[in-house]
């Protein structure tokens, strides 16, 4: 008998959307990034506000983080709040875990968050806050 990974709900996306809406309702300009272009189109339609900026960027890899930093630098904005809401999980018995699955989770959940913070530190305002949800 083969055990398949369980499909999990995309709670990080729901938390991110709710947080983005709260910040936008408070007058903030909000940037959301991720790997899935279709998801951003759906999110943009759901939030439907000109203060929402979305960009496709795989932040589990340094190339994607560099793209994000460059886009933000070109905007000439400063960050008051950096809300790092990253997370993926694959649930399988340890005997079935793979190195690729481990790397995907670690690269997104740890490496991505760490290097996004490193790259965006120069763009933080004097009254900054950094929040991690993982």
Angle formed at CA 54 by CA 9 and CA 61, multiple of 5 degrees: 70
107-134 pLDDT tens trace: 999 999 999 999 999 999 998 899 888 6
**The residue to which tokens 């933080």 are assigned:** 124
CA distance 100 to 127: 39
Helix (H, G, I), strand (E, B) or coil at 2: coil
Q: Show pLDDT as tens, one digit a residue, over the chain (134 residues).
A: 454 544 444 555 788 889 999 999 999 999 888 888 887 788 888 889 999 988 888 999 999 999 999 999 999 889 999 999 888 888 889 999 999 999 999 999 999 999 999 999 999 999 889 988 86
Residue 88 confidence (pLDDT): 84
Give the start-end residues of each E strand in 1-134: 30-34, 52-56, 79-85, 124-133
């Amino acid at each position: 008998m083969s055990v398949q990974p369980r499909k999990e709900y995309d709670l990080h996306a729901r938390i991110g959307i709710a947080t983005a809406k709260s910040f936008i309702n408070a007058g903030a300009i909000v940037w959301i990034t991720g790997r899935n272009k279709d998801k951003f189109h759906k999110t943009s339609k759901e939030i439907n506000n000109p203060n929402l900026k979305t960009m496709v960027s795989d932040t589990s890899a340094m190339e994607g983080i560099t793209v994000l930093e460059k886009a933000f630098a070109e905007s000439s904005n400063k960050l008051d709040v950096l809300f790092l809401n990253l997370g993926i999980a694959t649930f399988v018995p340890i005997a079935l875990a793979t190195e690729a699955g481990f790397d995907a989770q670690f690269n997104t959940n740890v490496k991505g968050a760490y290097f996004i913070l490193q790259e965006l530190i120069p763009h933080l305002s004097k009254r900054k806050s950094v929040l991690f949800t993982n």
